[in-house]
Amino acid sequence: MNAPKDDKQMLSIRIPKGLNKRLEELTKRMGVSKSQYILTLIDAAIKKAG
């Protein structure tokens, strides 16, 4: 029997070029993907909001 896969959904957003460039530079220095960094920020904000 196969292990259940995470139920993931696609979310597409448009961001200004300058912000995307800064995000790429930051995540490259951190050694993480843009997606992982954004997910971490969203998760932290939701936890903080309670």
pLDDT for the residue 3: 55
- pLDDT by 10-residue block (mean), the chain, 50 residues: 72 96 98 96 96
pLDDT for the residue 2: 58
pLDDT for the residue 4: 62
Tokens coding 49: 């909001």
Give the dihedral sign, CA 11/17/19/24.
positive
pLDDT for the residue 7: 83
Task: Select from 18, 4, 16, 43 the least CA-distant residue to 35.
Answer: 43
